[in-house]
Structure 1
Amino acid sequence: MIYPAARAIVVAGASAPVALLIGVIAPAYWVAGLAFLGFLVVLLILDAALGASPKDVAVTVGGLKSAAAGSEFSVEIALAFARAAPAACEVAIDSHYLLEAPDGLRTRVRIVNGRGEAAIRLIATRRGVARFEQLWVRWQGPLGLVWKQRVLAVADEIVIVPDVRSLRERSADYSHRDMLHGLTARMQIGEGAEFDSLADFQQGMDRRAIDWKQSARHRKLLAKEYRTERNNNVIIALDSGRTMCEPLAGLPKIDRAVSAALLTAFVALKDGDRVSLFGFDSHPRVSTKPVSGARSFALLQRVAGAVEYSDRETNYTLALATLTTGLQRRSLIVIFTDFADTISAELMLAAVGTLLKRHLVLFILFRDEELEGFAAAEPNAPEDVTRAVTAAALLRQRRLVVNRLKRLGVHVIEAAHDRAGPALVNAYLEVKQRNLL
């Protein structure tokens, strides 16, 4: 495709008043204006004929084929001209709703010895598959009067997966057994603990661990040592309803939840427990059977990546009733969710109450830093006061729901979006150490 550049349009537009002025002052020379326009057309044709033609350029698109949600990456573009390469050209790519381009989707490329390279910086905002259908390359002719443009079909795609970068950073620590159970394996007392052996009672040990009969027989204090029970069920439920799909620090809350869930699943699998994932909004959407072993993490990662964004209200009654169907043993149920007020949380509280009869329930809530900022901000205008009062009321209602959950016996974790994963892992390890299952 060849079309006039801005320079040609400006020259043609500027020549019109001059031609009109000549026609008024010297009507006999009115043909001079037509002659100038004809000369400009010749220059345009000459500029289009000189230099490289659109079919003389070859483009190669490279870069990552997959990226984590919330990460930054670049699409690398390489250009090669067969002949008469220009000094510079412009490259643009398709936009996609899963991606953001902080510097724009178009960039300028310098051409040296017929070749040039460019990188367009992108940020993955959501999970899914981002496809690039077309790529545009254009450059000006030697006279700068025309643009030569070529549109290429690239059919390239980037798979945006859940963010597991924190898992890679902490995998060496969490995979070490001493990091999971501490330096000693003593006094793991509680429901589900297994007796391991007797040991001499030492200062600092729990007095409830003393075996008085054996101590009387051996004439010294002996304490029972317990072995932590393994192969527990850990069910991670992800609410993907409307509230959880709202953005939080640039990413939907559900993506933050998926990252924290995968980190905890990795630790639980390494510790010998069985993990399953459950996704729901108005209906149950995805579910896995409990799996064990580190090799099963890839399956959980694929299932977590398939949790879709939803604009529906969450149906806790149906979801939690479906979740507990078939559970024959006491399990740790981790629920990632959010709520706006006490009214929307009533059904959630009723549904959670039925779970507590047999299972241990742990809620993960992201701190609403935006509301906290509005409530704490110094008011400078009447609308700031209104915003602060509304935010404080919403936070107060949120606190009421959290307190009701705690009174029911639910373990509640409130953490910032970037600390939710470690906070959940610490809570899981505490549950294991106290043998609450």
Structure 2
Amino acid sequence: MTLYKRFILPLFFGRHFYWAFVGVILLYVLSYNWPVLLPVAKISLWFFLAMVVLDYGLLFVKKEGLKIERIVSEKFSNGDINKVQLAITNQFHFRITLKVIDEIPVQFQQRDFSVDATLNSGETQNIAYNLRPTARGEYIFNDTNVFVKSPLQLVVRRLKREGEQMVKVLPSYLALRQFELLAYSNNLAEAGSRKIRKIGHSLEFEQIKEYVTGDDIRSINWKATARKGGQLMVNNYTDERSQQVYCIIDKGRVMKMPFEGMTLLDYAINATLILSRVALIKQDKAGLVTFAENIGNFLPADRKASQMGSILETLYNQQTKFLESDFEKLYAHVRTRIAQRSLIILFTNFESLSGLQRQLPYIRHIARNHLVLVVFFENTELRQLTDQPANDIETVYTKTIAEKFVYEKRLIVKELQQHGIFTILTAPQHLTVNTVNKYLELKARQAI
């Protein structure tokens, strides 16, 4: 195959070549009836051949007529728009027309990708396009093919930038950066998080400071005020720190359901990454557990500097085997490995009340020693079915069944709440914001 490729000429003929060639043939055909056209046909043929040779010489006189460089990050953010740039420099001495075909990774299944451009001599142009991956893993970019035409546009030369580039698609670190900046500035409301009114004081004392308008007068420290000669001093409290927050991700078959190109597992992984970072910024300890038919990964809760790197590396390779998840093994693992009372955020999915009832005893056992928050997903496709008008019998049946499943989701929420278990029923696209909101709410209420 390599030897065969070596002898393929990077030469093609453009549309103008075929139109001109058809014109010459037409002149020869007409010269049968009008012989006076025969000399015109011969002159046209020789002129056409001369132009083809000239065009060939213009395009192939330089061995490297273009400088091609693909500018791409070493990693992509899963579920987000990622930018790719092609920097192309025209080294010919004339204006050229380009058709660029970049061999993007096969995961995108985009077979008709091409970009057209025009470059003057010596001009460099950045051709940018966007890609949105929907699965984690390694993505391979292959060759970049550029088809070049001179102003004559008779001959087309193919120039190729050979070489593979591997890009890792990681959980959504672009959204992570956004939440990280907002969490540092205590401005998470800009990302959709609600401001939660704190109930009473946090139990952790931070410092004594001078009173300013707006401080709670019940926090005035009279002894410190007396020492300051009448300047009011108040006790300043902060949120309790070093609380353990564990995100537990179900990797069973129920998490393989797709939504907008991504699986529920990927949405849970993205939310876990962001929630862990917010917890670390709030001085809590973040940990991670994954499970399916067996316990997968266990990362003890910590707030060391390398914790986020460990979480990201662990989440990167998580996949499902399409088997039923074993909640009994999860309960045994949590009981033996997580001794301190913690906030357990369980990302899973229940489609029926009977599905919940099979696993409810194990979730209740976990909730005896920990604060459990169960996060599962609303089926938005069913919601669309229930909202559509019923104009015939078939639609009535379909709508009735859809409403039954939607109602059963609400029953699942009620069943969990009856046993003192916090729940979030959310659409996949709102998962991250709703989970962060609930974490901040539980922290403000000192529930952990």
Structures share fold, TM-score greater than 0.5: yes
Matched, 1:66 2:70: no
C-alpha displacement of 1:255? 2.8
Find the partner of 2:273 among 244, 262, 273: 262
Matched, 1:378 2:374: no
When residues 374 and 392 of structure 1 are mapped into structure 2, their CA distance, relative to the original with a 3 A threshold, is same
Please say if residues 337 and 363 of structure 1, whose CA atoms lie closer than 8 Å, have aligned partners that are also in contact: yes
When residues 107 and 421 of structure 1 are mapped into structure 2, their CA distance, relative to the original with a 3 A threshold, is same
When residues 5 and 352 of structure 1 are mapped into structure 2, their CA distance, relative to the original with a 3 A threshold, is same
Alignment of 1:34-433 (within 5 A): 44-52=52-60, 55-99=64-108, 105-117=113-125, 118-171=127-180, 174-175=183-184, 186=200, 230-293=241-304, 296-308=307-319, 311-380=322-391, 384-433=395-444
Structure 1 distance, partners of 2:437, 2:355, is 29
Paired amino acid for 2:248: A
C-alpha displacement of 1:238? 1.4
When residues 434 and 248 of structure 1 are mapped into structure 2, their CA distance, relative to the original with a 3 A threshold, is same
Cross-structure match for 1:210: none
C-alpha displacement of 1:151? 2.4
When residues 144 and 113 of structure 1 are mapped into structure 2, their CA distance, relative to the original with a 3 A threshold, is closer
Q: Deviations over 1:65-100 (max 9, x none)?
A: 333222223221122243344422111111324548
Q: Deviations over 1:369-392 (max 9, x none)?
A: 222122112235665444423322
Paired amino acid for 2:295: P
When residues 354 and 182 of structure 1 are mapped into structure 2, their CA distance, relative to the original with a 3 A threshold, is closer
Structure 1 distance, partners of 2:29, 2:323, is 65
Structure 2 distance, partners of 1:178, 1:8, is 62
C-alpha displacement of 1:105? 2.6
Structure 2 distance, partners of 1:7, 1:359, is 75
Q: Deviations over 1:114-145 (max 9, x none)?
A: 33321122223333332212111111244323
Q: Deviations over 1:236-294 (max 9, x none)?
A: 01123343233334533223222322232223223333221122334333321221246
Please say if residues 185 and 227 of structure 1, whose CA atoms lie closer than 8 Å, have aligned partners that are also in contact: no
TM-score (norm 1): 0.75
- Provide the aligned length of Structure 1 versus Structure 2: 404
Please say if residues 199 and 445 of structure 2, whose CA atoms lie closer than 8 Å, have aligned partners that are also in contact: no
Task: Give unpaired runs (5+ residues) of structure 1.
Answer: 197-202, 206-224
Structure 2 distance, partners of 1:240, 1:78, is 41
Paired amino acid for 1:273: D
Paired amino acid for 1:241: G
Structure 2 distance, partners of 1:41, 1:98, is 44
Q: Deviations over 1:127-184 (max 9, x none)?
A: 3332212111111244323221122223223333222444444445534789999898
Please say if residues 238 and 279 of structure 1, whose CA atoms lie closer than 8 Å, have aligned partners that are also in contact: yes
When residues 183 and 336 of structure 1 are mapped into structure 2, their CA distance, relative to the original with a 3 A threshold, is closer
Structure 1 distance, partners of 2:25, 2:254, is 60
Please say if residues 205 and 238 of structure 2, whose CA atoms lie closer than 8 Å, have aligned partners that are also in contact: yes
C-alpha displacement of 1:20? 7.7
When residues 339 and 33 of structure 1 are mapped into structure 2, their CA distance, relative to the original with a 3 A threshold, is farther
Paired amino acid for 2:121: N
When residues 6 and 365 of structure 1 are mapped into structure 2, their CA distance, relative to the original with a 3 A threshold, is same
| Identical residues among aligned pairs (%) | 21
Structure 2 distance, partners of 1:152, 1:287, is 44
Cross-structure match for 2:191: none
Paired amino acid for 2:258: P
SS in 2 for 1:266: helix
Task: Give unpaired runs (5+ residues) of structure 2.
Answer: 1-9, 189-193, 207-215, 219-235
Structure 1 distance, partners of 2:252, 2:395, is 30
SS in 2 for 1:423: helix
Please say if residues 143 and 164 of structure 2, whose CA atoms lie closer than 8 Å, have aligned partners that are also in contact: yes
When residues 229 and 7 of structure 1 are mapped into structure 2, their CA distance, relative to the original with a 3 A threshold, is closer
SS in 1 for 2:310: helix
When residues 54 and 319 of structure 1 are mapped into structure 2, their CA distance, relative to the original with a 3 A threshold, is farther
Deviates more, 1:39-48 or 1:260-269: 39-48
Structure 1 distance, partners of 2:316, 2:242, is 25
TM-score (norm 2): 0.74
Report the RMSD for the aligned CA atoms in angstroms.
4.3
Structure 2 distance, partners of 1:195, 1:120, is 52
Structure 1 distance, partners of 2:187, 2:51, is 78
Please say if residues 231 and 273 of structure 1, whose CA atoms lie closer than 8 Å, have aligned partners that are also in contact: yes
Please say if residues 51 and 84 of structure 1, whose CA atoms lie closer than 8 Å, have aligned partners that are also in contact: no
Q: Deviations over 1:38-57 (max 9, x none)?
A: 98667545432333456322
Please say if residues 91 and 108 of structure 1, whose CA atoms lie closer than 8 Å, have aligned partners that are also in contact: yes
C-alpha displacement of 1:111? 0.7
Please say if residues 316 and 347 of structure 1, whose CA atoms lie closer than 8 Å, have aligned partners that are also in contact: no
SS in 1 for 2:142: strand
Deviates more, 1:327-336 or 1:344-353: 344-353
Please say if residues 198 and 445 of structure 2, whose CA atoms lie closer than 8 Å, have aligned partners that are also in contact: no
Structure 2 distance, partners of 1:350, 1:226, is 38
